[in-house]
Chain A
């Protein structure tokens, strides 16, 4: 698989939110405005790439030689959570501007399942480090895309007469379902 294919497949065909239905919590929670969803999307991109760069070597150079592959869930969660914390400390001290724009989302990302899914996928799909990082960028760009799409739809929903039984989160899932149907058009684009 070449890198372009990996990127496009993870961005559109297997969009992490719309086709695999991961990370729905932050997807619904952080899309009340477009600006907020973009901030969250970039924070997720950053952390996903970082987590991939950290967990891939840990798996291949530590867990595999020790025969501890079954520990990957535990190890990955621990490593990602600590990593996010470290990044938060670092940004707060050295890049306050970036921290103000992105830092408030970091605690939310610590246990984001999209990020964990990416790190597991990298192992199960037998990607090398470069492929893993491209895959991570693709998945999180797909997440950003889905967030911005829903945030736009939500702006419209705010001024629409939604039936009472669909108000709040239900209408968001209906909207998500419709966006998903649109994304199904990409299925089969890459085989």
Chain B
């Protein structure tokens, strides 16, 4: 019986001493923490995607509260969060809601591979070892590195060999944009209207493009000439739209001989994701 009492007494004393010591030292070694960090952290979505480049939402909150990071870095939160952060930090800034758009239509049928690739099945390895598995060295290789980094289940490899973005789930965090070794995923503001070239082939020789992909931009510049607003210009071998002038008239979409011009609002963001490439 005594041993039971001793045990009970000892356990109680031990628990009390340790508890008191912890409580005491917690107060004694208390670190003053900027309450702003918690406010900023509460305004963030808390998905810890890492798209901002900081270790999770906590890391970003600390950086924002310390004034080291801009308030517009949180892509999943978009405009709402950046506005909230701007209000907290007393700055004027606002981020746009963005989504990722694949700037390539080179499905398996229209953009042939240049040979059989048997190495490590990731885009990065294929790019490093062979410079791209397709005849078009700019196009999507289809190993799905982007789908592996997507935390929001918004990117899936289709049977056509291209990743498909689920625009309802995409938060625009940009992890896939950073991951793609071909750099053919673009961050596009969700609200943007206008035309876009869904091709990233920068080879300047028309014949090279035509041989490697049936839906590639062949640099004919028909779009540049056709645009009534003159808002299209060639930049590094790819026509680029000036969205301050584009009226979404759709003339460039009609004029493009290889059908690589698309309208963002109807062809990409709409339910019809990217129209089936028309064989030429």
Task: Judge whether A78 and B15 touch: CB under 8 Å.
Answer: yes
Binds B, one of A12-20, A45-53, A90-98, A113-121: A90-98
Task: Judge whether B25 and A89 touch: CB under 8 Å.
Answer: yes
Task: Judge whether B7 and A68 touch: CB under 8 Å.
Answer: yes
- Is B66 interfacial (CB 8 A cutoff)? no
Task: Judge whether B120 and A161 touch: CB under 8 Å.
Answer: yes
Q: 1/0 per residue B181-214: CB within 8 Å of A?
A: 0000000000000000000000000000000000
Interface residues in A63-99 (C-beta closer than 8 Å to B): 66-68, 71, 74-75, 78-79, 82, 85-86, 89-90, 92-94
A86 to B22, CA, bound (A): 6
Main secondary structure of the interface of B (DSSP, over half): helix
Task: Judge whether B31 and A66 touch: CB under 8 Å.
Answer: no
Which of B18, B21, B29 is the one whose CB lies under 8 Å from A94?
A: B29
Q: Measured between C-beta atoms, what is the minimum distance from A68 to chain B in Å?
A: 6
A93 to B30, CA, bound (A): 7
Q: Measured between C-beta atoms, what is the minimum distance from B32 to chain A in Å?
A: 10
A78 to B11, CA, bound (A): 10
Task: Determine the chain B residues whose CB is within 8 A of the CB of A169 once the complex forms.
Answer: none
- Is A126 interfacial (CB 8 A cutoff)? no
B interface residue count range (under 10 / 10 to 19 / 20 to 34 / 35 or more): 20 to 34
A89-B25, A89-B29 known; A78-B18 Cβ under 8 A: yes
Task: Judge whether B29 and A90 touch: CB under 8 Å.
Answer: yes
Task: Judge whether B31 and A68 touch: CB under 8 Å.
Answer: no
Residue of B nearest to A89 (CB): B29
Residue of A nearest to B120 (CB): A161
A94 to B29, CA, bound (A): 8
A161 to B118, CA, bound (A): 10
Q: Measured between C-beta atoms, what is the minimum distance from B269 to chain A in Å?
A: 36
Task: Judge whether A66 and B25 touch: CB under 8 Å.
Answer: no
Which of B6, B18, B25, B121 is the one whose CB lies under 8 Å from A90?
A: B25
A160 to B30, CA, bound (A): 47
A75 to B21, CA, bound (A): 15
Q: 1/0 per residue B16-45: CB within 8 Å of A?
A: 001001100110111100000000000000
Task: Judge whether B120 and A93 touch: CB under 8 Å.
Answer: no
A150 to B25, CA, bound (A): 37
A82 to B29, CA, bound (A): 15
A89 to B11, CA, bound (A): 24
Task: Judge whether B14 and A66 touch: CB under 8 Å.
Answer: no
- Is A124 interfacial (CB 8 A cutoff)? no
A79 to B6, CA, bound (A): 18
Task: Judge whether B26 and A89 touch: CB under 8 Å.
Answer: yes
Task: Judge whether A71 and B15 touch: CB under 8 Å.
Answer: no
Task: Judge whether B31 and A93 touch: CB under 8 Å.
Answer: yes
A71 to B28, CA, bound (A): 31
Task: Determine the chain B residues whose CB is within 8 A of the CB of A67 once the complex forms.
Answer: 3, 6
A86 to B125, CA, bound (A): 47
A79 to B30, CA, bound (A): 21
Task: Determine the chain B residues whose CB is within 8 A of the CB of A62 once the complex forms.
Answer: 10
Q: 1/0 per residue B158-201: CB within 8 Å of A?
A: 00000000000000000000000000000000000000000000
User: Which A residues have a C-beta under 8 Å from some C-beta of B?
Assistant: 62, 66-68, 71, 74-75, 78-79, 82, 85-86, 89-90, 92-94, 159-161
The 8 A-B pairs at the shortest CB distance, nearest first, are namely A93-B29, A89-B29, A82-B18, A89-B25, A92-B31, A86-B25, A161-B120, A93-B31
User: Which B residues have a C-beta under 8 Å from some C-beta of A?
Assistant: 3, 6-7, 10-11, 14-15, 18, 21-22, 25-26, 28-31, 119-121, 125
The 21 listed contacts between A and B (C-beta, < 8 Å) are A67-B3, A67-B6, A68-B10, A71-B7, A78-B14, A78-B18, A79-B14, A82-B18, A82-B21, A82-B22, A89-B26, A89-B28, A89-B29, A92-B29, A92-B31, A93-B30, A159-B120, A160-B120, A161-B119, A161-B120, A161-B121
